Amino acid sequence: MQCPRIRLITSGGADITAPTHATTSAVDFVDMLRMVFAVPALGLGPAEVALFANKLLDIAIMPDADRFTVLEPQDWWTYVDAANQSANYQRYLAAGLTHSLVAADAHLMSARTGGVIALQILKANGSTLGMDRILNGPTEVAWTYPWMTHLTNQGVKFHFSSEATAVTLGPNSLVAGVTVTGQAAPVQVDYYVFAIPAERMGPLVSAQMTAVDPILGGIQALTTSWMNGIQYYLYTDVPINAGHTVYLDSPWALTSVSQQQFWQKYKLDVIGPGSVHGCLSVDISDWNAAGVHTTTKAARDCTADEIAREVWGQLKHHLNQGTTVVLDDSNLAGYNLDNSLTPATSTAPAANSQPLLVNVKSSWALRPRAVTGIGNMFLAADYVRTWTDLATMEGADEAARRAVNGILAASGSTQAPCDLWPLTDPDWTAPIRDAGNAVMPLSDDLKP
């Protein structure tokens, strides 16, 4: 479902709501004007706004090869000249959006990835499809369970209690078997697809494997960060915004979405306790910053209750302005913290079984392709080189398509390969970029 609006708010009272799609109505037009006139509330001067716009313009017209040679070795903070700009420029333009949207530290994130994705967001914002879409129900019932049912009907068997612990190559430099917990003998099949994240794949890569395909060794050097969620259940639904809300200067880099307005087939008072009518889902993207309302500890050092109280406090600090009360303690029925997190205790630090890949500068060279140098081994995960180039389901999907195409080629199949869609920049940049790409085409070693 399309989220028609995005809202950007600060603790100081700046509040910007804008359409996430092309202006198609008078309401969209008015909201767009309101956004333009609200920008000064962020404390950004015209020269700083122009500087940031020019930085994006430079990327928009830059040939693909230059994006890799010039931008990839730079971090986003350096590229946008944040060190020489105001605190508001650093907070909102250089760091705020990158941290909130992709859990990336602007001092580390690749300027190429940051810039290209920013252009994609701007382009999508100008289309009728929009830049922000979410599921129309809880993930399990709207997506996971139906997909699992489909795969099961196709003959797929799931082994949920099993874990791959080792990969063995045969004398022909092909995978001869994978050791899996709960299996008496190594699993032996014709083709192996590893659809697991970087932090799980890295330990499986052996010296024997890197001798065949050296780039596989780079997986262990990839960078991950934490971006995990918490859901607050409300007695009375509070639709804060018709889409995502970004709390630009929140210490823990929070974003939220009020779910019930998009879950028309799944009423919370029907599928859950009858007293619950709303669900506010929140992403926490900075787990290292100190809390400011109910704790001074970093999120990764907090218990579950401490995380819940501090996030709730940060949300209220942004939303409850003046006499307006959006979130009230009496409306809170409970919370659920992402079960991939093991919160800190007095004797053990927090742990996260599902960290998020972050594309730091110069990390493209560390990332393998979906089709590896091992003839029967393929990778399908968001760390694989793709045009999408971001830790998203779209990136994982593209990697999977590339893996399928690799299997089709290796097996000699006559079936049509899966479609792939390289990212396209705004149409008005095409003549300049096409001219640059013709003079200096992207080399094969840099392509996905």
Sequential DSSP letters for 16-79:
EEEESS---SHHHHHHHHHHHHHGGGGT--HHHHHHHHHHHHHHHHS-HHHIIIIITTSBHHHH
Whether 399 and 406 have beta carbons less than 8 Å apart is answered as no
Region 44-67: mean pLDDT is 92
- Asked whether the beta carbons of 398 and 387 are under 8 A apart, the reply is yes
368 pLDDT band, cuts 50/70/90, is: very high
The predicted pLDDT at position 399 comes to 97
What average pLDDT score do residues 158-186 get?
95
In this predicted structure, the answer to whether residue 33 has a pLDDT above a threshold of 80 is no
Half-sphere exposure (Cβ direction) of 157: Cα atoms closer than 13 Å: 3
Query: What is the pLDDT at residue 23?
Result: 77
13 backbone φψ class: left, alpha, beta (φ>0; ψ -120 to 50) = left
**pLDDT band with cut points at 50, 70 and 90 for residue 414:** very high
Question: Could you give the angle at the alpha carbon of 246 between the alpha carbons of 244 and 249, nearest 5°?
Answer: 170
Provide the token pair at 200. Answer: 């799980």
- What pLDDT does residue 423 have? 86
Mean predicted confidence (pLDDT) in 33-51: 80
Per residue in 194-242, pLDDT (tens digit) is: 999 999 999 999 999 999 999 999 999 999 999 999 999 999 999 999 9
pLDDT exceeds cutoff 90 at 164: yes
pLDDT of 245 reads 95
Query: Is residue 97 predicted with pLDDT exceeding 80?
Result: no
The two three-digit tokens of residue 159, written as one number = 């082994």
Give the rounded percent of residues in the chain with a pLDDT score beyond 70: 97
> pLDDT per residue over 239-266, tens digit each?
999 999 999 999 999 999 999 999 999 9
pTM: 0.92
